[in-house]
Amino acid sequence: MKKKHILIMFCVVALIQLFVPAQMIYNQEKVLNDGKAYKFKTRPIDPNDPFRGKYITLRYEINSFKTRDTTWRRGDAVYVYLKDSLGYAQIDTISKYKLNLKTDYVVAKATHFRSFKNYSNKSARIHFDLPFNRFYMEEYKAKPAEDAIRVRRNDTDLKDVYSLVYVKDGEAVLENVFINDVPIIDYIKEKDNQ
């Protein structure tokens, strides 16, 4: 009887361990298939995470927003509502709470807050990190990707660096990083062949 209970518990634990990653994969695939694609202008650099491997850290041009709310604190959730402007994601508005808007949004994390006093009113700027700021690559490709961008940053050949992110119901999935509308892996291969 005891062996039967152990076997049942083992099966339950095994199913849970399979269900959790399967559910995560399913949710990301659903966002990729049903979400709206946004381009976020970025500048990658190449760090290393010993547990997850090589990746490019993505720093986005849209990483702050002017606000009159002076109660923001580091670590607060920032609901970033998006709009499309000339093919790239722009911030429509931000909030500490989910708003009843029919606009795509992502939940970022507040990093710091600056308050400005001028003669007419108080204003502030909240800075935040978007949740899709790492693009994982094979170890031998991450460093050449970062080098390609660093070396060509002032090159007229390098016009546009952006990430393609799908957004749906507050969830975001980073699909790829592009340089001059070419996926970063293909861009590296092209530059290596020149």
CB atoms within 10 A of CB 155: 10
Hey, is 125 helix, strand or coil? strand
Q: What is the C-alpha separation between 172 and 79, in angstroms, rounded?
A: 12
81: which 2 tokens? 């509502």
Nearest C-alpha neighbor of 42 from the set 167, 192, 184: 184
Average pLDDT over residues 89-98: 93
Tell me the pLDDT tens digit for each residue of 41-57: 876 554 455 545 577 77
Predicted confidence (pLDDT) per residue in 107-165, tens digit:
999 998 877 665 555 678 899 999 998 888 777 777 777 666 565 555 555 567 889 99
Give dist(CA 84, CA 169) in Å, integer: 16
Residue 62 has pLDDT above 70, yes or no: yes
Closest CA to 39 of 142, 167, 186: 167
pLDDT per position as a tens digit, 11-40:
888 888 888 888 877 777 777 778 788 888
Token pair for 189 = 């291969």
- Scored b (16 or more CB within 10 A) or e, 6-29 reads eeeeeeeeeeeeeeeeeeeeeebe
pTM of the entire structure? 0.74
C-alpha span between 176 and 165 (Å, rounded): 8
The arithmetic mean of pLDDT across residues 73-77, rounded, is 92
pLDDT at 120: 55
Helix (H, G, I), strand (E, B) or coil at 47: coil
Helices (H), the chain: 2-34, 139-152, 184-193
